[in-house]
Amino acid sequence: MKTNDTSLSFNSLISNYKKLQDQLLQQVRSLASKMSSANPGQFILVQFQMSQVTQVGESISNMIGQVNSVINNAVKNQQSR
């Protein structure tokens, strides 16, 4: 029987998040270079993408905090024995 090995490493997560940030930065730079010819829809799209990047970053931060909490609790449990 074959199992589906789907794992997520912090390294790949942070790496992909950085790529997302870099793509957004390129879009902001592109939009800034053509401010006079940009349309309102382009600004709205970049603003939406900024909020998505922020949400992903907050999710990663929350996940790291939860992992840290689990590790701390495991250490406390080991010390109390």
1 pLDDT higher than 70: no
The share of the chain scoring above pLDDT 90, in percent, equals 69
Q: What percent of the chain has pLDDT over 70?
A: 89
What residue ranges define each of the domains in the chain, with the CATH number in brackets? Answer: 10-79 (1.20.58)
pLDDT one-digit tens code per residue, 8-27 = 788 888 999 999 999 999 99
Q: 10: which 2 tokens?
A: 């912090």
DSSP state string for 5-20: -----HHHHHHHHHHH
Residue with tokens 């600004």: 43
Rounded to two decimals, the pTM is: 0.74
Residue 3, pLDDT > 60, answer no
**Helix and strand tally (H, E) in the chain?**
2, 0
Q: How confident is the model at residue 66 (pLDDT cuts 50, 70, 90)?
A: very high
DSSP letter assigned to residue 32: H
Mean pLDDT, the chain, integer: 88
Q: Terminus-to-terminus CA distance in the chain, angstroms?
A: 39
- How far is the C-alpha of 10 from the C-alpha of 52, rounded, in Å? 19
